[in-house]
Amino acid sequence: MNPKYQPLMEPYRFKNGVEVNNRLVLAPMTIASSQQEGKLSDEELAYYESRSNGVGMAVTGSAYVTPSGKVFDGELGVDHDDKIPTLRTLAATMKKSGAKAILQIFHGGRECPPEVVPNGEIVSASAIAKEGASAIPRALEDQEIAEIVRAFGAATRRAIEAGFDGVEIHGANRFLIQQFFSPFTNRRDDRWGGSIDKRMAFPLAVVDEVRKAAAEHAKGPFLVGYRFSPEEEMTPGITMADTLKLADSLADKGLDYLHVSLMDFWSKPRRGVEDTRSRMELIHELVGGRVPVIGVGSIRTPDEALRALQSGIAPLIALGRALIIDPDWVRKLAQGQEGEIRTEITLNDRDRLGISDSLWQQIVHTPGWFPIADRAERQ
C-alpha cells in the first residue's frame, strides 16, 4: 500500500483491551432488509459481509430493543431471545475478515410509524408529535421507562450470547434516547425531565444498565459505545452547550467510545457556544483524554480519512456512504489501489452493490445524500 496511508491501517487498542486491526469503522446505516419479524435476510447478511470486509470495526444498523421501538419494516430486532440464532449468524458474518462486530441498539420513540408497532401506539418522553405527522405519541409512564431501560440491558445480554464484540447505544438521530435529552421533545416535570440534569437521566440510566449487563454476562472484554447527535435545529432544542454537558457525563461513565453522528466531520456549532472550531474539536478537547471519539461525516476518499485521523481529534474514522458506494474501499486502499476507489454510484448500481430496495429508494429520492453520476451527467 502507499505508505502515506499507513496511519489509517494501524491497529488501535481500547482501554479495556479490545484491539481493532485498523482505524476504519463501518458506520451504522439503516439498510431495512431484515424480514418482517426483525430476523435476518440473506440480502442483509450479504450486505454486512461485503461492508465489514477490511474495516477494523463494523457497527450494524439500529436494532430495536422492544417491539414498540421499531421504526421500519425490515428493521433488525434484538427484542427477544428467539432472535439470538440469527444475530449469531450476523455476528459471525461480520467477523469473517477480522472486524470487531458491534450491535447498535435503540428505541425509536415518536419516530415509529403507528403501522409498525403493537396496537399502533407510539410512545415518547412527552406527547409531542413528530414534525409533519398527525399521530401524537403517548408520554411514557415511570414504570414503562424503567422497563425500556431494562430492555436495553436484555438486548446487551442477547448481543453477548450472539457473539458480538460490543454494543453501541443509539442516542442520536432523534430516536427515543435523544427525545428524552431534548427540551423540544421532553416537556416532563418529573425525575425524567425539566432541567438538563433530569433530561440526561434516561440516557445515563440506559448506559448504566447496558454496562451492568456487559459486566454480568460478557466473559471477556466487551465494548460499550454511545452515539449522539450534537445539536438540533429546532428551538427549544439541543444546543452545543447541552451536548458538551452530556458528553462530559458520558465520559465519566466508563464507556469505551463515543460516536458523534454528523453529516460533515468538520461542521461547526449552530448555537450554545462562542467558538469557531468544529464540533469534533470541541468534543475531543473536553473528553478526548477520557474516552476515544469516533468521527464520521462526508468522508469519501483516503485523503479525507487521513486528514480527519491526523487532526488528532478522532482515533477512529467511520465510513458510511463511502462503503455503500464501494464495498472494496478498504481492500483497494490496502493494496495500493486507492485511485480505483469509487466515490459515486450510478442509477444502475443497485443489484451490483446489493442495496435493498427501500434503501435504494431513499438514495435515489434524497437529493444530495449520495453523489449519483448519471444524475450529474443529465443536469
Q: In which band, very low, low, confident or very high, does the pLDDT at 376 lie, cut at 50, 70 and 90?
A: very low
Q: Which CATH class is domain 3-343?
A: alpha beta
Q: How high is the pLDDT of residue 378?
A: 42
Phi, then psi, of 57 in degrees rounded to 5: -145, 140
Average pLDDT over the chain reads: 94
pLDDT at 149 over 90: yes
DSSP notation for 48-76: HHHHHTT-SEEEPSPEESSGGG--STT-E
- Are 185 and 179 in contact, with CB atoms under 8 Å apart? yes
Distance CA 361, CA 355 (A): 10
pTM score, whole prediction: 0.96
pLDDT at 32 over 90: no
Distance CA 90, CA 282 (A): 36
pLDDT at 37 over 80: no
Q: How high is the pLDDT of residue 93?
A: 97
Distance CA 30, CA 28 (A): 7
Distance CA 123, CA 151 (A): 15
Of all residues in the chain, the percent with pLDDT exceeding 70 is: 96
Distance CA 35, CA 39 (A): 5
Q: 85-143 pLDDT, tens per residue?
A: 999 999 999 999 999 999 999 999 999 999 999 999 999 999 999 988 889 999 999 99
Q: How high is the pLDDT of residue 379?
A: 44
Counting other chains too, the contacts that 241-246 makes at CB distance below 8 Å and 24 or more residues apart are: 241/272, 241/273, 242/181, 242/196, 242/272, 243/272, 243/279, 243/283, 244/272, 244/273, 244/282, 244/283, 244/286, 245/196, 245/200, 246/181, 246/200, 246/203
Average pLDDT over residues 284-312: 97
Q: In which band, very low, low, confident or very high, does the pLDDT at 217 lie, cut at 50, 70 and 90?
A: very high
Helix (H, G, I), strand (E, B) or coil at 211: helix
- Give the containing element (helix H, strand E) for 77: strand 76-77
Q: Residues 6 or more apart from 242 whose CB is under 8 A from it?
A: 181, 196, 272
Supply the DSSP symbol for 355.
Answer: -
Q: How high is the pLDDT of residue 258?
A: 98
Q: How high is the pLDDT of residue 101?
A: 98
Of 102, 226, 97, nearest to 160 by C-alpha is 102
Segment among 23-27, 31-35, 160-164, 332-336 with least mean pLDDT: 31-35
Distance CA 114, CA 223 (A): 33
Domain range summary for the chain, segments of one domain joined by +: 3-343
Average pLDDT over residues 285-302: 97
26 exposed, middle or buried (CB, 10 Å; 0-12, 13-18, 19+)?
buried
Q: 236-248 pLDDT, tens per residue?
A: 999 999 999 999 9
Q: Cell 456487559, residue?
A: 214
Average pLDDT over residues 219-230: 97
